[in-house]
Structure 1
């Protein structure tokens, strides 16, 4: 047993002094960051090296490709002039939605055996509601179905929606003739009537800022002078009348009624006129002429 301990002690000392233990370590105390738009975002990055006291620090942002944020001890692109670095921690001033994404902190210690360490930090920029775009038809016929649309594409997290009619909030239930989707922003009106006429507006909201509403728009429901059933019955009757006329005309042609009438008209129109009578001659004068000739 003592022999095993004696052999293990030098092995442990050798492992501790091995170059493989000399490596840079990189971590973040806050790997997920959420901040409001136009505020400062602090992306924490802590590192530790075994030998190298002046490692190289780089920040990159992942997206469709990889772009440099901090490289060769200076900021690049849109980060120049609005970011700072302390140790390896990155601070971005007045962030916008374009700054959201995943960032990577890389520390290179050339004197360490494992000379590269990295950690990732995700940044989510929260955006308050914007004025939504609302689609409300100006008029509709009574009895038709309508769908009103509302959308705010800029808010983060995504907005939820609420519809108002004449400044009164609409609450969908099984007893109402309409239905709402608070996530898609749709308001569906079934078989509208005169009572559905009014001023409609939509409001978008999320957990970041105050709700925003679009300008109210007028919806006018036009009632038919005749009921829908009457119009359908009239249309069917007109169709049957036209159909019966066409059917009667076809039967008449098949039986030859139309052909005989046409033939009689054509015969009468083109009958040749009788030849004019020959001119009459005066026989008395004719005889006198013959007598004169003799």
Structure 2
């Protein structure tokens, strides 16, 4: 039993010492950065123990959540958009006139059927550099002393992502000012004044920059800081109060004289009818008085009629 245990240990040690028959794949440049329309070299090298004609494939992953990458090189030919502008040397791919659509993660796979470990792979990241474009700036032309002011600068096209520098009167503003009256976020392009003063009056512009090309700036805008006009505010408040009082007076006057009554027309006719009836009543009373004053002439007394003759039939 002891001899068998000793032989097992020696066999395990030999397995660790002796080289295994496995394909080895590696890249000399795991991250490749090139400009648009330039040439990109995606390095891939390999070593096999037995298989002298391994199968080589290149794939481009669609994203971290994707399980089905696109084939770039398969069965000894390039596919899709890579067909007419890519060549292969050994296992290294040379890509001509790269575009933003070419940027991404690539995987080189080498399959050696005669080796004990038959598959090896190496990953290469391709970054297509884009210089910054002219940024878009939002700068107010005026502000009131004591107020908060925020200036914005944006440039989403540059690769790698741009950083921002703000200028006042063509002089760069410190990212971390000693007096702390403002703050700058170089990643978002925001310049914020917590409480502006007359000293902050000036011309401002923003600059976007990255390593892909020369920096670009937006057009400068002059910002004027005005004092708060207390007298104008008080005068405006007085004018508003006077207007409100005048409006209230006219509304009360109109309401008192019935301009807002819905039955104004009917009331007018009722008043007219009452007036006409009153006049008629007065005329009637006058007629009655006249009748009362008038007395008919006395009737003549009828003479007594006496029968003087009698007739017999």
Q: Is the alpha carbon distance of 1:84 and 1:291 closer, same or farther for their aligned partners in structure 2, counting shifts above 3 Å?
A: farther
Displacement of 1:212 in angstroms is 1.5
Could you tell me which of 297, 309, 313 is aligned with 1:287?
297
Contact 1:142–1:191 at 8 Å: present in 2 too?
no
| Corresponding position of 2:98 | 95
Matched residues in 2 for 1:196 and 1:11: separation?
81
1:184 and 2:166 are equivalent in the alignment: no
1:132 and 2:142 are equivalent in the alignment: no
| Corresponding position of 1:174 | 178
Q: Is the alpha carbon distance of 1:114 and 1:171 closer, same or farther for their aligned partners in structure 2, counting shifts above 3 Å?
A: closer
| TM-score of the pair, normalised by structure 1 | 0.69
Q: Is the alpha carbon distance of 1:48 and 1:161 closer, same or farther for their aligned partners in structure 2, counting shifts above 3 Å?
A: same
Please say which structure displays the higher CA radius of gyration. 2
Instruction: Output one character per residue of 1:139-188: Cα deviation in whole Å (capped at 9) or x when no partner.
Output: 32422322111122222332221122332323362336433222221122
Displacement of 1:191 in angstroms is 4.2
Matched residues in 2 for 1:61 and 1:228: separation?
67
Unaligned runs of 5+ in 1: 247-265
Displacement of 1:88 in angstroms is 0.7
Instruction: Output one character per residue of 1:206-262: Cα deviation in whole Å (capped at 9) or x when no partner.
Output: 3343222122234344x46x62487379759978x989xx9xxxxxxxxxxxxxxxx
Displacement of 1:200 in angstroms is 2.2
| Corresponding position of 1:213 | 217
The alignment of Structure 1 onto Structure 2 pairs a total of residues equal to 262
C-alpha root-mean-square deviation of aligned residues, in Å? 4.4
Unaligned runs of 5+ in 2: 249-266, 304-313
Could you tell me which of 192, 202, 206 is aligned with 2:206?
202
Contact 1:160–1:182 at 8 Å: present in 2 too?
yes
| Corresponding position of 2:162 | 159
Q: Is the alpha carbon distance of 1:181 and 1:11 closer, same or farther for their aligned partners in structure 2, counting shifts above 3 Å?
A: closer
Contact 1:32–1:122 at 8 Å: present in 2 too?
yes
Instruction: Output one character per residue of 1:36-78: Cα deviation in whole Å (capped at 9) or x when no partner.
Output: 4443222221123344333221111112331111112222233
Instruction: Output one character per residue of 1:125-148: Cα deviation in whole Å (capped at 9) or x when no partner.
Output: 3333332221123x3242232211
Contact 2:44–2:92 at 8 Å: present in 1 too?
yes
Q: Is the alpha carbon distance of 1:26 and 1:142 closer, same or farther for their aligned partners in structure 2, counting shifts above 3 Å?
A: same
Displacement of 1:28 in angstroms is 2.0
Q: Is the alpha carbon distance of 1:55 and 1:229 closer, same or farther for their aligned partners in structure 2, counting shifts above 3 Å?
A: farther
